[in-house]
Amino acid sequence: MTYSQALAQAFDIIRRTIPKMGTDRPAIGRSDLTYERCHDSHWVDGFWSGQLWLAYAETGDEVFLEAARLQRPYFIARLDRPESHDHDLGFLYSLSLVAEYKLTGDQDARLGALRAADSLARRYNVRGRFIRAWNSWANGEHNRGRIIIDSMENLGLLFWAAQQAGQPRYRDIAVAHAQTTINTIVRADGSTYHSFVFDPQTGTPVRGETVQGYADESCWSRGQSWGIHGFALAYCYTGDEQFRATAVRLADYALAHLPDDRVPYWDYLLPDGAPRYRDSSAGAIMAAGLFLLADLLGSGAEAALYRQAARAILDSLLAGYTTFDHPQAEGLLTQGASHVAQGYANNMLPYGDYFLIEALLRAQGRTVFFW
């Protein structure tokens, strides 16, 4: 299957799912390859919009445009519910309102995305130089000083808003958070913690932890993928070599720990006897990040290595992890591991679906996205 053929099949699945999804959004896949729908404060809400906007940008088919615009009232209304906001505002609004503005020039979408960026910036802890992750009610007051590797993917909203609004403070916050992540979450060997905890009053670093990985000192594979893609994006906006170098370190670690078929297990450091679920979403995110990193490195041997590795991951996903032969499927990738400790494995995941499309587009030379 060529990448063009895979994209066409993915877009066909999205097109046939649009009437069933309506104004809802996919949350997590069921065993029959349909999707549970999101609740009204979900962190994954933006990935369906992201797929619709990518499909519209690539095909020009107004079916995708109309479906994406049906999602806008939800994202605008959610701006008036700040209690639903956390560090994932980039996932929510880069793939919805920023995407709409970039593709259509709609000013209401632009203003809504700027409001989201401002809300994200207000989570900044000045003493610790980090953007707070989960809200206190999620796991108690402990979260007031917590960051997670996922947040690297949300910094694009701040970088974009700094350019749009002429607000260098947004850029400064994004850069500071990325630097803090390097200093705390990224380990010396290029692996990563899922989470790092600070004293919220003083900003003093306390310890690394995990929530979705196997153990505090293991390496959650999707978090590693968020880091590869996120640090590469930070380099795109800043030209700061430390961010590209960090993406390289994370990529080298992940590539050295992939199984034979190149699709990651849910954690890179699983002991004997631990469940060995795959995480196709970690593979899709990693493939997209490796293509981006290769583009940033130019045409030399290192870039060729990452491009070849990205293709190997993508080829394996297409060969053994898609829903393309299932006429009832509402998603694209099987065998995603959302949160193994809570029993969520072997599911379709909307972020896996989104990043499969992004990886397929990057594999064919596309470089302009919504981050």
Give catalytic residues, as residue numbers.
88, 150
**For helices 280-297 and 301-320, what crossing angle results, to 10°?**
160
Q: How far is the CA of 177 from the CAs of 84, 184, 267, in angstroms?
A: 21, 11, 24
Answer yes or no: are the C-beta atoms of 178 and 231 closer than 8 Å. yes
Structure tokens at 242: 């430390």
Is 37 exposed, middle or buried (CB count within 10 Å of its CB: 0-12, 13-18, 19+)? Answer: middle
- d(C-alpha 157, C-alpha 90), whole Å: 5
The one-character DSSP state at 76 is: H
Give 333's strand partners: 322
In terms of phi and psi (left: phi > 0; alpha: psi -120 to 50; beta: otherwise), the region of 119 is alpha
Structure tokens at 342: 């809570």
Give the tokens for residue 218: 């293991």
Amino acid at 40: D
Taking the C-alpha atoms of residue 218 and residue 268, their distance in angstroms, rounded to an integer, is 7
Amino acid at 189: D
**Taking the mean position of all CA atoms in its chain, how far away is CA 223?**
9
The pairing of strands 130-131 and 124-125 is antiparallel
Do you know the residue count of the chain?
371
Residue 174 has phi, psi (to 5 degrees) of -60, -45
Structure tokens at 274: 């631990």
Find how far residue 141's CA is from the centre of its chain: 26
Q: Are 54 and 38 in contact (CB under 8 A)?
A: no
CB 294 within 8 A of CB 304: yes
